[in-house]
Structure formats: structure tokens, C-alpha cells
Amino acid sequence: MADIEIEIRDDTLLLAVSGVVHVADVIAAIEKYYPLVTKHVIWDVTHADLNQAVPDEFRQVFPLVKRYRRPSPGARTAYVARREKDYALARMFSILVQLEEVSSDIQVFYTLKEAEEYIRQGGD
């Protein structure tokens, strides 16, 4: 089971994930924390183990993101993954989310600093 700590920074919800991640962990986090989102989201999985994450299972997440992610002009989502495999998985997920027409620009980064800069550039 993953441990997910949140921090709200102005208009940004940061979810710092550690431990072994399963799709149920992501679903629970979206249901619990996405109602707090005012504009931007950063998922930091640099300390998470995504080896148990099954890409096909993540399709269950898309309807939840659409339900809980309120449209907001200029909204952005950033995924932060340090390892190549995790980065590739996050990139694949971000593409699938965009295909589902979720109302947010989405990018994947190797560092939290890069993700925060991307969010700042989103502005209003």
C-alpha cells in the first residue's frame, strides 16, 4: 500500500507518493484529495515503487479524474518520476488521460523543481 502525503501550496495540490503503488491507492487519493484541487496538481512519485502498477488497470482512473477535476482555465498537472521506467509509465498515463479529454495540460518531469516551474508558468 502506498503512503500519500499532501501539501496545498496556493492553487496547487502536491501529492507525494511513497511505497508500493496499486491502482486502488490512486483511486482512493483522487476520491479523497481531488475535491481540494483549485487549479493545479503535482504527483511526485520519486519515492514510490510503481512495479506493481498495471497500466491497463489505470484506465479505471480516467472517469474519476473527469468527475473530480473541475475545469479551470490554465490548469496544469505534473507528474514527477526519477527512474526511467517510472517516467515512461507516467508519460504513457499522461497521454491516455489527455486522450480522455481531461481538462488540464499534463507534463512529466524528472525533478520536482521542473514540475513546480511548469506549474508557475501556467499562471492564470
Q: Give the mean pLDDT of the chain.
A: 88
pLDDT mean over 12-35:
93
pLDDT bracket for residue 102 (50, 70, 90)? low
- Name the one residue in this structure whose C-alpha cell is 507528474: 79
Helix ranges (H only) for the chain are 23-33, 61-68, 84-99, 112-122
Task: Say which CATH number the domain at 15 has.
Answer: 3.30.750.24
Q: What confidence score (pLDDT) does residue 101 get?
A: 65
Domain count, the chain: 1
Q: For residue 56, give its domain range.
A: 3-122
Task: Give the residue with greater pLDDT, 60 vs 116.
Answer: 116
pLDDT bracket for residue 30 (50, 70, 90)? very high
Task: Give the residue with greater pLDDT, 16 vs 70.
Answer: 16
CA angle 50/53/72 to nearest 5° reads 90
Please give the grid coordinates belonging to residue 55: 497500466
116: pLDDT strictly greater than 90: yes
State which H helix or E strand residue 13 sits in: strand 12-20
pLDDT mean over 21-32:
92
Using an 8 Å Cβ cutoff, are 123 and 89 in contact?
A: no
72: pLDDT strictly greater than 70: yes
First to last CA, the chain: 36
Of 74, 64, 61, 60, nearest in space to 103 by CA: 74
Count CA within 13 A, CB hemisphere, residue 65.
Answer: 21
pTM of the model: 0.90
Name the β-bridge partners of 7.
14
